[in-house]
Structure 1
Amino acid sequence: MRAPAWLPQPVRRALRVVRRYWRVIALRLERYTTPVRRSWRRSLQVRVVTLTLVASSLLVGTFGWFIADRSADILLNRAQDEVAASVTRKVDWAAQQLSVHPQAYDAGLPATISDTANALYDGEQAGDTGTLVSLRAEHFSALRPQTIPTVDTTELITPELIHTVADDAKVAWQIRTAEVDGRLTKYLVFGSPVPAQFGHLELYYMVPLTTENAAANQIRTMVLVTGLALVILLGVVAGLVTRLVVTPVRVAARTAQRLSAGLLDQRMRVDGEDDLAMLAAAFNQMAANLQRQIVRLEEMSRLQRRFTSDVSHELRTPLTTVRMAADLIFSEREDFDPAVARSAELLQAELDRFEGLLTDLLEISRFDAGFAALDAEHTDLVPIVQRVTERLTGLAERVGVELELRLPDSPVIAEVDPRRVERVLRNLVGNAVEHGEARPVQITMATDDAAVAITVRDHGIGLKPGEERLVFNRFWRADPSRARQTGGTGLGLSISAEDARLHGGWLEAWGSPGEGAQFRLTLPVRAGDRLVAAPLPLIPRDRTAEVS
C-alpha cells in the first residue's frame, strides 16, 4: 500500500522504511512461529501440557497473590497494634509531664516539651533505628515543635494528619514513604493529642516498616519460587501422564498407517490389563478381522477376475463359430422368407452386441488385474475428435441429433494413447446421441500449457442429483426401461473412466433433470504430469449464465 501523495517527501520515505523493516520482521516472526503452530496443531501432548501450564499458572498466581497480600496485611496490622499500644503509653506519660504547667505561657513549658520529647525517644525507643518522635503545639505558635532526632518530617506529617489530630483532637495514623537521612523509607505515622490543663499538644510517633517490608518481600519471594516450582512440577506431571496416554495412540496411528499401506500383519503390543491394553487388544482384533475380510475379498475378486477372463476367452471360440455361421446366413438373407431374413438380421445385431460385451469384459478384467498399459505417444487430438464424430454421424442423423464441433484452429498435441482416447470419446459422444432427445450435441475442446479438456454436452433427459457419480459404475443405467439405439453393454463409461485414470486424467459428469448432461475428459499434456485444473468448466457455460 503506497503512502498518500499529499504527505511530505520525508514522511513518505520514513513510511517506506518502516514498511520494509516491518516486512522483514514479519517474515522472521513467521519463520520462528511456524514450528510452534505446527507443534500445536499436530501434538496432543503439547496442547495438554501448555493448557495445564497456563491453567496452573493462573491458579497458583492467584493463590500466591492472595497469600502474599494477606501476609503483608497481617504484618501491617500487627505493627499497627504494637505502635498504637506504645503511643497510648507515651501519651499518658507525656500528659503527666505537662500537668505541672497550668498555662501555655509558663516559662518552663518549652524546656518541659524538649525534655519530654527526649525522654519519649530515649526511654522506650533506645536501640531502635529510624524511629522518630515529634511533640508539637499547633494551636500555640510560641511553642516550637520538638522532633527527635532532628530531621525534616514535612513529608511524613501531612496537613491532613495535622488537621485530624490538632483540630479534631482524634487519634489518626497513615503510611507514608519519604526520604529521611538520605534513605527512602516507608513509615507508619501515628498522631495523638496529648491533654494538658491549657489545652492539648500533639504527639507524632513515626516507626519505620523496614522489618515488615523485608518480611513481606521474603514471603512474596518464597511464594513466587514455590509457585514456579509447583507450575513446573505440574507441567512435568502433565507431560508424563499425557505421554502415557498419547504414546499408545501414536502407536495405533502408525500401525493404522502401515495397515492402510498394505502391511496387514502389523499389530500393537498389549501390556497389562488397563484401558490402554484393552484399546490395543481391540485394535489388534479389528486389524485381524480386517485382514481376514481383505484377504477373503481379494480372493473373491481374484476368482471373479479369473472367472470373467476365463469365460470371456472360452466364449471366444464358440462365438467365432456362431459368427461364421451367422455371417453366412446374413449374406444369403435375400433368398429367405421375410420372417427368416429378419431373424438373420436380428441374429447379426445381437452377435455384434455380444462380441462387444466380451471385448469390454476382457478390457475390464485387464484393468482389474492391473495389466492395462498405456501406449502413450505425441498425438494431435483434433483429428481424433473429428474421426469419432464422422463415424457417429449416421447414427446421429437417424435419431435427429445434430453434432456441433467447437475445436481449436491449431493442432492440439498431447502425450496420450490415441486408441484409448478415441474409445473414451466414442462412448461419450455415443451416449450423448442416444440420450440427446433429438437436440444438438456440442463437442468442445480447449487446451493450456498443462492440460487438454474435451466436453460433450447434450440437452436430453439429464441426470438426477447424485447420478453424476453413479454413471461410471459398471452396468448402471439411469433408466433401464428406455429403448437403446446403440446396443451398449453398460460398461462403456466404466472403461472410459479407467482409461482416463490410466492417463492420469479426469472423467467427470454433470447433469440436471430436463436440462441435459455434460461430460468432461481432462488429460495432461505430458504423460505423468499431475493435473491441477481443467481448461473447460464442468458445468456448461449456458447453465452458469442462467444461474448467475
Structure 2
Amino acid sequence: MRIALPYGLRRALTFWRRSIQARVVVSTLLLSAIVISAVGWLLLQQTREGLLRHRVDVVVGEVDATVAYHRDRLSAARGTEVNASTQRADLIDPIIETGDSRGYSVVLGGPEETDIGLSDGGAHRTSGLELTSVPARLEAHFDGRNRSTAWTYTEIERTLADGTTVSEPGIVVGSQVRLPADGQTYTIYFLFPLTEEEETLGLVTRALLTAAGLLLALVAGITWLVTRQVVTPVRMARRVAERLAAGRLQERLRVSGEDDLARLAHSFNQMASNLQRQIRQLEELSWVQRRFVSDVSHELRTPLTTVRMAGDVLHDARREFDPATARAAELLQAELDRFEGLLVDLLEISRFDAGAALLDVDDINLLDLAHRVVDAARPLADQRGVRVEVEQPDKPVRAQVDARRVERILRNLVTNAIDHAYPDDVDRPIVVRMAADDQAAAVTVRDHGVGLAPGESAMVFNRFWRSDPARARTSGGTGLGLAISLEDAHLHGGWLQAWGRPGEGAQFRLTLPRRAGDVVRHSPLPLAPVEALDLLEGRAAQHDVEDDEPDGRYRREDARQGSRDGGREPSRGVTS
C-alpha cells in the first residue's frame, strides 16, 4: 500500500533524488553541524570547569583568610571576661556584614558537642537565608570532628520580604572556629553564589552558537560554490547528451581550461564526433542498401516481364509437350509467381525504408475484412486439410484504418497459420477473433500447429526469417510477409505481437487504434490464448498477457534488423 505524500514533500524528495549538489551541501552541513556541536560542547565543558575551579580557589582562599583573621582576633581577646553569647556575636556579625557587602551569605552552626545545630535553627545567619541551603553531606563532614576546610556545590535558597523563595546555584564552604569563652567549636558556612559564572558561561554559549551558525552558513556557501564548479559541467554534459540522443549530432561541449573536467569535455566531444561519423556512415550505408534494393527491384521488373511472357506461353502450351517438359513449364510458372511476389514485397519494403509509405484511412468494419481474407485463403486451407473459422464478435469492430494494408496483415497472418498448421487437423481449426473498446481494436489469429520455440517470437518478424529452414512453405511466401505486416501495423500506430509454444501452436495479435492518429496503450484481447492461461493457471503465461505499452520507442532501423518483435512487451517473446 502506497502512502500519498503531500505535494511539497514529493517535490522536495524529487529534488533531493535528482540534485547531487543539494545532497552534497546538506550532507556537508550535517557533518559540520555534528563536528561543531561536539567541539562546542567540549569547549563549554572546559570553560565551565575552568570557571568553577577558579571560583572555588578564590572562595576557599577568601574563607581561609577570613577564618584565620577571626581566629587571631579571638585569641588576642582570650584574657578578657566575655560570655559565650557575646563572643559568638562578635565573631559572626562582622562576617555577616562583610558577606553582605561582598555578595555572599554566612551561617554559624552550633557547637559540635551539643545538640544545637543547623537542623533546629540554633544558628546565626544572613537575613533571609534558608538553612536547607547547607547540604547534609557537608554537615556530616564536620560532625565527624573533621577540622579541615571543606566545600561543595549547593542551591542557595532565600526568602524574600514578600514571602517568596528564590534559589540560585552556589558554592558552600565550611570551616570551624573555637570560641575561648566556652571552649566550644563552631562551624561557619560561607555560601557564595555562582551568578557571575553563570552569566559568563551563558555569554560564552551564545558566542559559540553565533559562531557556529556563521560557520555553518560559510561552510554551506563554500560547499555550494565548490560543488557548483563540478556539477555545472556535468549538467551541461547531460543536456548535450540529451540533444545528441534527440538526433542533434552537431552538439558539443565547450572546453575551457586543462583540468579533469576540461579533459572530460574533450573526450566527450571526441566520442560525439566518432558517433556522428559512424552514424552518418551507417545512414549512408543504409541509404545505399535501400537504394540498391529499390533499383534492383525496379530493374528486374522489365526482364521479369519478358520472362513472364515467355513463361506464360510455355505454360499455356504445356499440354503439347512431353511430361518432363510440361512439368518444367509448371515449375517455371510457380517460381515466376513467387519471384514476382518477392519483387512486389521488396518494392513495398523499400517504400517503408524510404519513409514514403502513406495511409489511405477509412472507417472499416474489420469483420468484413476478416471474412474476405478467410474466403480467399479457403482453397489453400482445403489443400492442407485444415479449417479456418471467424468468431462473431459481441459488437461491431470498426476502426479508421487503411483497408488495403490491414487486409494484407490479416492475409499474411492467416496464410502463415495455414502454412504452420498440422495437415488434416480438422478438429482444431484456425480461429480468427476480434474485439474492440473505446480506444483500440484487436484481431488475433490462433493456430494449433508447430508453434514457436522459446525466443523465436522475438525473431518471427525478421526479414527472411524461417523457424525451420528445411521446411517448405506451402503458400510459397517470400519471407517478407510478417516484416511488411509489422511495418503496416506501426504505420497505423499499432502493435503486431506473437505468442507461441512448441507443439501448442501460436497466436498473433494485431492491435490498432480506433481513431487514426491515436496511440495504442492497451489491447482489448490477451496475447496468449485463453486455454494456455487456464493450463498454466496464469503463472508463466502472465508475462505473455501484459497489455502495457511495449517498452521503448519503435525505430524503423530496429524493425529492419529484427531486433524487436513487433512492439512486443519485455520478456514476452521468450515463452516457456
What is the TM-score of this pair, normalised by structure 2? Answer: 0.84
Determine whether 1:32 maps to 2:8: yes
1:470 aligns with 2:443: no
* Other-structure match for 2:88: 113
Aligned residues: CA RMSD: 2.5
Please give the per-residue CA displacement for 1:385-443, whole angstroms capped at 9, x wherever unaligned: 12212222222232233323323043211111111111111111222222222453222
Q: How does 1:64-83 map to 2 (within 5 A)?
A: 64-83=40-59
The CA deviation string for residues 497-537 of structure 1, in whole angstroms up to 9 with x for no partner, is 11111111111122223332222111111111122211111
Q: 2:332 aligns with which of 347, 350, 355?
A: 347
1:174 pairs, out of 141, 148, 153, with 153
Q: Which amino acid aligns with 1:147?
A: R
1:152 and 2:141 equivalent?
no
What is the deviation of 1:384? 0.9
> Whole-Å Cα distance in 2 between the matches of residues 193 and 530 of structure 1?
101
Q: Which residue, out of 46, 53, 74, partners 2:22?
A: 46
Instruction: Give the letter for the 2:463 counterpart.
Output: R
Cα distance in 1 for residues equivalent to 2:245 and 2:511: 29
Say whether the 8 Å CA contact 1:452–1:523 is kept in structure 2: yes
Partner amino acid for 1:166?
D
2:102 counterpart (128, 153, 166): 128
Q: Does the 8 Å CA contact 1:194/1:201 hold for their aligned counterparts?
A: yes
> Which 10-residue stretch deviates more, 455-464 or 87-96?
87-96
Q: Deviations over 1:117-175 (max 9, x none)?
A: 2333445x57423x111111175355731113x11324522444434443574734123
Tell me, in whole angstroms, the C-alpha distance in 1 between the residues paired with 2:348 and 2:189: 111
| Cα 1:226–1:242 shift into 2, 3 Å | same
For structure 2, list consecutive stretches of 5 or more residues without a partner in the other structure: 538-576
CA distance in 2, matches of 1:530, 1:268: 36
Secondary structure at 1:319 match in 2: helix
Using the alignment, how far apart are the partners of 1:492 and 1:297 within structure 2?
A: 26
Structure 1 residue runs of 5 or longer lacking an equivalent are 1-25
Aligned pair partner of 1:451 in 440, 451, 466: 440
Q: Confirm or deny: 8 A CA contact 1:464 1:513 kept in the other structure.
A: yes
Cα distance, 1:449 vs structure 2:
1.0
Shift of 1:178: 4.0
Q: Secondary structure, in 3 states, of the residue corresponding to 1:224?
A: helix
Q: Which moved more, 1:87-96 or 1:527-536?
A: 87-96
More moved, 275-284 vs 253-262 = 253-262
Partner of 1:518: helix, strand, or coil?
Answer: strand
Q: Distance in 1 between matches of 2:70 and 2:456?
A: 108
2:554 is aligned to none
**Preserved contact between residue 407 and residue 446 of structure 1 (Cα < 8 Å):** no
CA distance in 1, matches of 2:173, 2:387: 111
Equivalent residue letter for 1:411: P
Query: What amino acid is the match of 1:186?
Result: P
Change (3 A) 1:247 1:328: same
Change (3 A) 1:443 1:199: farther
Change (3 A) 1:161 1:272: same
1:71-110 per-residue CA deviation (whole Å, 9 max, x = no partner) reads 11221222223223333344444555667999xxx97223
Q: What code does the residue aligned with 1:427 have?
A: N
**Cα distance 1:88–1:545, how it changes in 2: closer, same or farther (>3 A)?**
farther
Structure 2 counterpart of 1:519, which letter?
F
Equivalent pair of 2:369/2:407 in contact (CA under 8 Å): yes
Residue 485 (structure 2) aligns with: 496
Say whether the 8 Å CA contact 2:175–2:189 is kept in structure 1.
yes
Give the secondary structure class of the aligned counterpart of 2:454: coil
Alpha-carbon distance in structure 2 between the residues aligned to 1:96 and 1:457: 123
Distance 1:332 1:365 in 2: 36
Corresponding residue SS for 1:504 = coil
Distance in 2, matches of 1:466 and 1:237, equals: 56
- Counterpart Cα distance in 2 of 1:444 and 1:60: 73
Distance 2:40 2:386 in 1: 86
Partner of 1:510: 499
Q: 2:384 aligns with which of 399, 405, 416?
A: 399
Equivalent residues in 2 for 1:200-349 (5 A)? 200-349=185-334
What is the aligned length? 516
> Secondary structure of 2:153's partner?
strand
> What pairs with 1:365-444 in structure 2 (closer than 5 Å)?
365-438=350-423, 439=425, 440=428, 441-444=430-433
Alignment TM-score, normalising by the size of structure 1: 0.88
Deviation track 1:221-252 (CA, whole Å, cap 9, x = no partner) reads: 11111111111111111111111111111111
Distance in 2, matches of 1:153 and 1:380, equals 105
Q: 1:491 to 1:146 in 2, by over 3 A?
A: same
Q: Following TM superposition, by how much is the alpha carbon of 1:45 offset from its aligned partner in structure 2, in angstroms?
A: 1.2
Q: Contact conserved, 2:111 with 2:184, CA < 8 A, in 1?
A: no
Q: Distance in 1 between matches of 2:223 and 2:532?
A: 58
Q: Is the contact made by 2:155 and 2:167 (CA closer than 8 Å) also made in structure 1?
A: no
For the residue of structure 2 that corresponds to 1:243, the secondary structure is helix
Bigger Cα displacement from structure 2, 232-241 vs 510-519: 510-519
Report the Cα distance in structure 1 between the residues aligned to 2:264 and 2:102, rounded to whole angstroms: 72
Q: 1:462 to 1:214 in 2, by over 3 A?
A: same
> Structure 1 residues 480, 72: CA separation in 2 closer, same or farther (over 3 Å shift)?
same
**1:186–1:209: 8 Å Cα contact kept in structure 2?**
yes
Distance of 1:509 and 1:178 partners within structure 2: 92
The one-letter code sitting in structure 2 at the alignment partner of 1:332 is A
Give the whole-Å Cα distance in 1 for the aligned partners of 2:63 and 2:95: 10
Aligned partner of residue 134 in structure 2, secondary structure: coil
